[in-house]
Structure 1
Amino acid sequence: MKKFYVASSFRNIEQVRSISGQLKNKGYVQTYDWTDNSRASTIKDLRDIGEKERIAVKDADFIIVLLPAGKGSHIELGIALGQGKPIFLHSPDDKVMNFETTSTFYHVSGVEIVIGTTDRLFEKLEEENYI
């Protein structure tokens, strides 16, 4: 069974939960659900959460990054890139293609940019035989 991880910011928590729920309903395994956490209040909390997220990215077969994303999500993107994991970068609009504000690493090999609705994200996952 394929395993996945969804990276994003607390601003997108409901969207992360929705996408994760849909994938789990299809039989996929979520390597870690960071949305169950409250915001970290100590360095120890940050360390514990960071270790769980690092392991979750390592254990996943593919990664979904939902924009806009926070600094932790971008580190998770880097970990996934370094491990050669397939990454699906979802942006609700085409700001991801704005040369002045986009990230270099959004456009490297292994990153599939998906612009539009989450339905479009699921279509792309299906087209690429991930679901």
Structure 2
Amino acid sequence: MKKFYVASAISNIVNVRYVAQALESQAYVNTYDWTRNATEGDGGTVSPGDLRSIGEHERDAVIGADIVVILLPGGKGTHVELGLAIAQRSRIILHSPTQCIGNPGATSTFYHLPEVEKCHGTLDDLLTMILTEPHAMAPGVP
């Protein structure tokens, strides 16, 4: 049973839910559904204690995931989650609806690490990649 986590901006909440529901329908397990913490257009009225709790859940979810999906554009924490996934040597798939992730001048250096798989196109293209394409594991990963 594969465990996954989807990282993105709150403005991408509909896409995050779409990917999560599609993977769950294929018996994948979501390590944490952060979309339950907010809704689109939410003013973000949370306390520091709330932020700490959410951060702990998100950190643990990324660490516990076999696959971390990054949907661009990302939010404030998305790149932190990418960093955690790189350190954990999880399978990482970076998705953008455009080819911007192939432009070294407009992206993060971490997007270009060999262990980061890139996908541009539709969310269905992303799901096909996750569900059917074999991938090379990062060095040292069984």
Q: Give the TM-score normalised by structure 1.
A: 0.94
Name the amino acid aligned to 1:88: I
Q: What does residue 113 of structure 1 align with? A: 118
Q: What does residue 49 of structure 2 align with? A: 44
Which consecutive residues of structure 1, in runs of 5 or more, have no partner in the other structure?
none
Q: What does residue 127 of structure 1 align with? A: 133
Contact 1:40 1:46 in 2 (8 A): no
The 1-side partners of 2:104 and 2:61 are apart by 31
Summarize deviations over 1:69-102 as a string: whole Å, max 9, x none.
0120100000000011110000000111222211
Name the amino acid aligned to 1:98: N
Which consecutive residues of structure 2, in runs of 5 or more, have no partner in the other structure?
39-43, 136-142
Correspondences of 1:27-66 after superposition (within 5 Å) = 27-38=27-38, 39=44, 41-66=46-71
Q: What does residue 80 of structure 1 align with? A: 85
Name the amino acid aligned to 1:14: V
Contact 1:6 1:66 in 2 (8 A): yes
Contact 1:2 1:29 in 2 (8 A): yes
Name the amino acid aligned to 2:50: D
The 1-side partners of 2:134 and 2:84 are apart by 21
Name the amino acid aligned to 1:110: E
The 2-side partners of 1:60 and 1:4 are apart by 5
The 2-side partners of 1:45 and 1:68 are apart by 24
The root-mean-square deviation of aligned C-alpha atoms, in Å, is 1.2
Q: Which moved more, 1:98-107 or 1:81-90?
A: 98-107
1:40 to partner: Cα distance: 5.2
After TM superposition, which residue ranges in structure 1, 4 or more long, deviate above 4 angstroms?
Answer: none
The 2-side partners of 1:109 and 1:83 are apart by 14
The 1-side partners of 2:48 and 2:108 are apart by 28
1:37 to partner: Cα distance: 0.2
- Report the count of equivalent residues: 129
Q: What does residue 105 of structure 2 align with? A: 100
The 2-side partners of 1:11 and 1:25 are apart by 23
* SS at structure 2 position matched to 1:19: helix
